[in-house]
Chains A and B, each alone.
Chain A
Amino acid sequence: MKSFDYIRATSVAEAVQAGGTGARYIAGGTNLLDLMKLEVMAPDTLIDITRLGLDQIEELDNGGLRIGALVPNADLAADMRVRRGWPVLSRALLAGASGQLRNKATTGGNLLQRTRCYYFYDTAAPCNKREPGSGCAAMEGFNRILGVLGTSDHCIATHPSDMAVAMQVLDAEVEIEGKDGTRRVELDEFYRLPGDTPHIETVLAEGELITAVILPPAPGGKHVYQKVRDRASYAFALVSVACVAKVEGGVLEDISLAFGGLAPKPWRNRAVEDLLKGQAPSEALFEQAAETLLAEAKGHGSNDFKIPLTRRTLVSVLGEATKGAAA
């Protein structure tokens, strides 16, 4: 590990002031410290943001929630308001990592966790994300856990979060504090696709701090989070599907879908939702939705199975979300 300076910020303003090139915020440290030990990340300065009072979950006037960036994943999953109004989020969180990790991991840190691509972790391997322009060892290598959608010729990494997939299906927004003030960005806009700059993963500018995630009012309907993985717990998603669906009078009145394990960001495809909306649920319809979702999916060898796996899982999740609702 490269030696670094350590600053414990006491206010958001102080943290943002100290932020910038070469500095990193440290929250739970469950991802950043691992990467620093391997020198995949080697900041000069760590700014500890755990004492900024950003660990509250507040109800908003419009019925939404404001989740502080430092709320631990475990607390967020257990919050009664979340469990009642946004159960898909609670379920996604509980499907992630382990009890110990969820106690340490924070909302902001979870959004910004880096890919689990094996070669990204290996400083001896070429990796455009770690070292722009060096190449991508995963493309022709072992890529079982990597992406089939939204990838580029430069990088096929996936975003590993479960939490972010649920937030994506819930139309969450990220609240960001920078030297120029506060701004809000839709989660869907927050992440960038790799293109030819896979090292730039979000729209955050150097030194910007995530202060909260805003959830719109509870959407109602049926919430499903299905995570498919290589072992029963403590494994990242091979594929995950978050679904919020409302069926009325035998038709799918409203539906939102987001996917994990497939893409460089929590994946959402509005065309799939539009195709389903207003239709009577049926196996054939679900297959058609899967077809649309996966039309441009591209496997890279060891991750080819993700395509049929996603199709099967989506069809099954849609079946579950609309169960008993057929006209």
Chain B
Amino acid sequence: MTNELTLDKKADTRRLDEMAQGLLGTPMDRPEGVLKVTGKAIYADEERPSNLAYGYLVRATGPIGRIVSTNKDEIAKMPGVVAVIEEADLPRNSVQGATPTAAPTRGDRIDYIGQPLALVVADGFEEARHAAQAMTAVMEADTGLHFDPEAPGASIETPEAKQASQGDLDAAMASAAFTLDEEYHTSSMHSAAMEPHATIAEWKDGKLTMRGAYQMLKFNQKSVSDALDLDLSQIRLLSPFVGGGFGSKLGIAPEAIAAALASKAVGRPVSVAMHRRQVFETTTHRSATKQKVRLAADKDGKLIGVGHDNLVYNLPGEKFSEPTTQATPFTYAGENRVIGHHIARLHRPAAGSVRAPGEAVGATVFEMAMDEMAEKLDLDPIEFRVRNIPDLDPSKGIPFSENRMEAVLRDGAERFGWKHTKPKQRLEDGWWIGTGVAAAVRVNMMSETSARVRLTQDGAVVETDMTDIGTGTYAILTQVAGELLGLPANRVETRLGDSDFPKAFGSGGSVGASSSGTAVYLACMELRQNIAAALGVEETDLTLKDGRAISGNVAKPLTEIVPGEGWSATGTVKGGKAGSLVRQATWGSCFAEVAVNAVTGETRVRRMLGSFAAGRILNEKTAKSQCIGGMTWGLGMALHEELVHDPRDGHMVNRDLAEYHVPANLDVPQIEAHLLMEDRDDWANPVQAKGIGELGISGTGAAVINAIYNACGVRIRSLPGTLDKILAELP
């Protein structure tokens, strides 16, 4: 049985609010939590099949250009070495997110320093690593390459489809009572998820099994099929537990294809785990951005013009470019608008999606600009934002499914105890203290997803190839099914991360929870029909709770209703017109209190609080964790994270976690995240839930930067706000 729904209109009921189990939305612990904390959850590179060989990727050290020859033959003779895989079809870098094809291949070229040149396979991991370290290539160097997007002569593309303009912004800027025209920079960043990318590949009877760390099995399987010229039916991907992804595991990474090639070549299972340094270089990272923001406001603080222009980079041949301005077209009002997008083609490692591609850097910078503008207007920055919440999406002229911007700003302000003050008012023990606010906004999307639910006398089993990348998918799908089928959590088992299961979109774009949640909802609604039919009642008259079905004065345990072989139903949700009839987004506010050392310019965040609205919350605990994680990352983007490229050859200089700084425990104060639990978005889907995984990073870092200004009067326009940038302007 299948239940398919295309989202063309607003949901007309809120069935989940009529259910009786009381499981959905609760801060239920993750069902797999105990496995994780006891080390029993098996991650990508933990199984040790017999006769396992180890592969280690060889790093191309430059120069960039054509590979003339390698010392492969010598390497093949080194102790323990079983094979040197040096195929032209080794991937150049990770596949981009939601892309069903293979990555660009190595061919006979090295396009960036750090690219995989080959894979050395050996009996032992250290033997493979040692031999890989010894491998070299004779290169014919390219000339005239560029490594800096802003260097004169860098090749810049300005794709027409990515520019937009309405009204006359120049005229608005000329006539406005108040204007802002500033340039901002954000640095390159890497998600560096805790679990490095790894794959164990094994061939049996013409079938390839890959156990790895992947976010989107449906797409990953297709990429593997394209890369290796295999039928989908020959490929099984297993990714039941993923130690963080944040975009870097959306597309399959080079180690996976290399492992599959190697396993085929040596006839043994092969494990390839990346070193942290390889994760930085060969998987995708967030492009640095240069952003120019123009704002024009009338004397009452109403925006009449908004301009947001940006320059990002990527390697030649990569389709992705950081969608920096994704939220700009609809966040604030203003009839005269310009969006500009430029892509520099550089020979730095590949850029791609990192948690909240677009908003993470675009909304953050825009929120920094909004703070500067509020100051020019002498307005409380909250008041300024509220005055500019548009009635309709100002670029498309369509209504919002709901706009909770004011609600979250007011809620956050009240909880934080927000008071608008002038800068440089509080100096305590040699530290300037200040507070800042920023809004957070992230587009909401939907993509095709299926899930199967089997209901037996024992309970329910949910199956989908959706993944849990540490986000809480196991918990929320258990809760959706338990709520609809009237089962306690311990009678629902959720199975994920197996490409043999019904296909989901995967974990990406904050789509996972709402898409797989809706698919499970649809399957369960079908099963409710079965139960109702068996009882001879209408589904709407059915109450399911604690394994019992109740309707009118009949109450029966499910064990007496469900047949021995059980029932199975598949739910499929597809995005439809609802995505274009209305503007769907999620909303947040973030408040920070910082201390800036008056001598050294060091900034420490003392307090951070956020308020978020994302439709129905499926699990209060995992949703809050997402927000807290996002805010922590916002803090890191504001103060610490800076992936440095060597100006001479583009290579990543600080590609380890000792020198690529993310916030340490002591940098992160108590963070409070509050959720608007009563929020429902009927346009989003029949679950009324939207994505929340990326909202927490989509602007929040600006609260820290704005607080720095409020504390010590220094405007940071280039992230991260390290002490050298502050020091230069301190008295």
Is B727 an interface residue when CB atoms closer than 8 A count as contact? yes
Distance in Å: Cβ of A28 to nearest Cβ of chain B: 16
Whether B646 lies near A142 (C-beta < 8 A) is yes
Distance in Å: Cβ of B67 to nearest Cβ of chain A: 16
Q: How many A-B contacts are there with CB distance less than 8 Å?
A: 87
Is B647 an interface residue when CB atoms closer than 8 A count as contact? yes
Interfacial chain B residues near A284, Cβ < 8 Å: none
Take A230-B722, A233-B665 as given contacts and tell me if A3 and B602 are in contact as well, using a CB distance cutoff of 8 Å. no
Determine chain B's interface SS by DSSP, over half rule.
Answer: loop
Of all chain A residues, the one with the shortest Cβ separation from B59 is: A124
Q: Which of B263-271, B370-378, B650-658 binds A?
A: B650-658
Is B62 an interface residue when CB atoms closer than 8 A count as contact? yes
Whether B644 lies near A142 (C-beta < 8 A) is yes
Whether A316 lies near B648 (C-beta < 8 A) is no
Interfacial chain B residues near A141, Cβ < 8 Å: 646-648, 653
Take A230-B661, A230-B722, A233-B666 as given contacts and tell me if A124 and B602 are in contact as well, using a CB distance cutoff of 8 Å. no
Interfacial chain B residues near A144, Cβ < 8 Å: 644
Is A308 an interface residue when CB atoms closer than 8 A count as contact? yes
1/0 per position for B654-675, CB-CB distance to A under 8 A?
1010110101111100000000
Distance in Å: Cβ of A286 to nearest Cβ of chain B: 12
Whether B647 lies near A309 (C-beta < 8 A) is no
- Checking B79, B129, B604 against A232 with a beta-carbon cut-off of 8 angstroms, the contacting residue is B604
- Checking A228, A231, A316 against B639 with a beta-carbon cut-off of 8 angstroms, the contacting residue is A231
Which B residues, 403 to 445, have Cβ-Cβ distances below 8 Å to chain A?
Answer: 430
Distance in Å: Cβ of A110 to nearest Cβ of chain B: 15
Whether A231 lies near B663 (C-beta < 8 A) is yes
Whether B129 lies near A1 (C-beta < 8 A) is yes
Distance in Å: Cβ of A37 to nearest Cβ of chain B: 8
Whether A231 lies near B126 (C-beta < 8 A) is no
Of all chain B residues, the one with the shortest Cβ separation from A312 is: B599
Interfacial chain B residues near A98, Cβ < 8 Å: 664
Interfacial chain B residues near A142, Cβ < 8 Å: 644, 646-647, 653-654
Q: Which of A77-85, A115-123, A264-272 binds B?
A: A115-123
Take A118-B653, A118-B659 as given contacts and tell me if A231 and B664 are in contact as well, using a CB distance cutoff of 8 Å. yes
Whether A313 lies near B654 (C-beta < 8 A) is no
Is A6 an interface residue when CB atoms closer than 8 A count as contact? no
Distance in Å: Cβ of A102 to nearest Cβ of chain B: 14
Distance in Å: Cβ of A76 to nearest Cβ of chain B: 21
1/0 per position for B50-79, CB-CB distance to A under 8 A?
000000000101100000000000000001
Which B residues, 600 to 656, have Cβ-Cβ distances below 8 Å to chain A?
Answer: 600-602, 604, 639-640, 644, 646-648, 651, 653-654, 656
Take A1-B129, A228-B602, A313-B599 as given contacts and tell me if A140 and B664 are in contact as well, using a CB distance cutoff of 8 Å. no
Interfacial chain B residues near A122, Cβ < 8 Å: 653
Bound-complex Cα distance A171 to B423 (A): 45
Of all chain B residues, the one with the shortest Cβ separation from A121 is: B656
Is B728 an interface residue when CB atoms closer than 8 A count as contact? yes
Is A235 an interface residue when CB atoms closer than 8 A count as contact? yes
Is B724 an interface residue when CB atoms closer than 8 A count as contact? yes
1/0 per position for B700-731, CB-CB distance to A under 8 A?
00000000000000000000001110011000
Take A228-B723, A233-B666, A308-B727 as given contacts and tell me if A123 and B653 are in contact as well, using a CB distance cutoff of 8 Å. no
Take A230-B661, A231-B661 as given contacts and tell me if A118 and B654 are in contact as well, using a CB distance cutoff of 8 Å. yes
Distance in Å: Cβ of A276 to nearest Cβ of chain B: 19
Whether A1 lies near B130 (C-beta < 8 A) is yes
Bound-complex Cα distance A239 to B665 (A): 21
Whether B600 lies near A231 (C-beta < 8 A) is no
1/0 per position for B573-607, CB-CB distance to A under 8 A?
00000000000000000000000000111101000
Is A145 an interface residue when CB atoms closer than 8 A count as contact? yes
Whether A316 lies near B599 (C-beta < 8 A) is yes
Bound-complex Cα distance A63 to B651 (A): 53
Bound-complex Cα distance A316 to B62 (A): 46
Whether A3 lies near B130 (C-beta < 8 A) is yes
Take A1-B130, A231-B640, A312-B600 as given contacts and tell me if A116 and B666 are in contact as well, using a CB distance cutoff of 8 Å. no
1/0 per position for A3-14, CB-CB distance to B under 8 A?
100000000000
Interfacial chain A residues near B601, Cβ < 8 Å: 309
Bound-complex Cα distance A229 to B722 (A): 9
Is A174 an interface residue when CB atoms closer than 8 A count as contact? no
Interfacial chain A residues near B127, Cβ < 8 Å: 3
Is A59 an interface residue when CB atoms closer than 8 A count as contact? no
Is A39 an interface residue when CB atoms closer than 8 A count as contact? yes
13 A/B residue pairs, CB under 8 Å, sorted by A: A3-B127, A37-B275, A122-B653, A124-B62, A124-B651, A145-B659, A228-B600, A232-B664, A232-B667, A234-B664, A238-B723, A308-B728, A309-B723
A residues lining the B interface (CB < 8 Å)? 1-3, 37, 39, 98, 116, 118-119, 121-124, 140-142, 144-145, 228-235, 238, 305, 308-309, 312-313, 315-316
